[in-house]
């Protein structure tokens, strides 16, 4: 029994896609006799034709993966896409380093480990990228007798 016309009309009336139209398998004869919009509409009101519910997309898997990533899983070599500079931009790395160096310099100056002239010299060197970390800066200051 070909019910394509009825399905098409029902889909239009129910404002859903053709695949979401459900026809009662016990009343196929009656449905096949309906060939007008009015006929199909009556069948809809009688409950012989219905719209199937929308299928939702479960967010369970994505939530689970996000939870694992939060723990530090799923971040190995095979998961990495994008260059090193894309995942941690050079500017962000620089900002982290320079802020740490400047904070350390300020502490050293406030605690009178270095004088103002030395502070200014090391500050300028740090700005120029002479030190890659706080420990390198301290080692430099120690080796050049800049600490008091």
- Asked whether the predicted pLDDT for residue 1 surpasses 90, the reply is no
Which distant-in-sequence residues (6+ apart) come within 8 Å of 1 by Cβ? 28, 32
Give a yes or no: residue 65 inside a domain. Answer: no
In this structure, what CATH number is given to the domain that contains residue 21?
1.10.1650.10
- Asked whether the predicted pLDDT for residue 87 surpasses 90, the reply is no
Region 59-79: what's the mean pLDDT?
A: 95
SS3 at position 141:
helix
**Segments forming the whole domain that contains residue 16:** 4-51
Give a yes or no: residue 83 inside a domain. Answer: no
Give a yes or no: residue 82 inside a domain. Answer: no
Looking at residue 117, its pLDDT comes to 95
What mean pLDDT value characterizes the chain? 94
Are the C-beta atoms of residues 27 and 34 closer than 8 Å to each other?
Answer: no
Looking at residue 105, its pLDDT comes to 97
Region 19-41: what's the mean pLDDT?
A: 94
Structural domain tally of the chain?
Answer: 2
Angle between helical axes of 116-127 and 134-143 (0-180°, round to 10): 130
Give a yes or no: residue 58 inside a domain. Answer: no
In this structure, what CATH number is given to the domain that contains residue 134?
1.10.1200.60
Looking at residue 37, its pLDDT comes to 95
């Amino acid at each position: 029994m070909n019910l394509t016309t009825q399905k098409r009309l029902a889909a239009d009336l129910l404002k859903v896609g053709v695949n979401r139209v459900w026809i009662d398998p016990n009343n196929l004869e009656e449905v096949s006799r309906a060939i007008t919009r009015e006929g199909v509409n009556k069948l809809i009101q009688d409950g012989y034709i219905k719209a199937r519910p929308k299928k939702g997309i479960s967010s369970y898997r994505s939530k689970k993966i996000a939870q694992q990533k939060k723990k530090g899983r799923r971040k190995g070599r095979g998961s990495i896409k994008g260059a090193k500079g894309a995942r941690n931009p050079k500017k962000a790395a620089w900002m982290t380093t320079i802020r740490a160096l400047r904070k350390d310099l300020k502490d050293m100056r406030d605690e009178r480990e270095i004088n103002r002239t030395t502070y200014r010299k090391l500050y300028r060197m740090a700005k120029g990228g002479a030190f890659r970390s706080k420990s390198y800066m301290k080692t430099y200051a120690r080796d050049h007798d800049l600490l008091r």
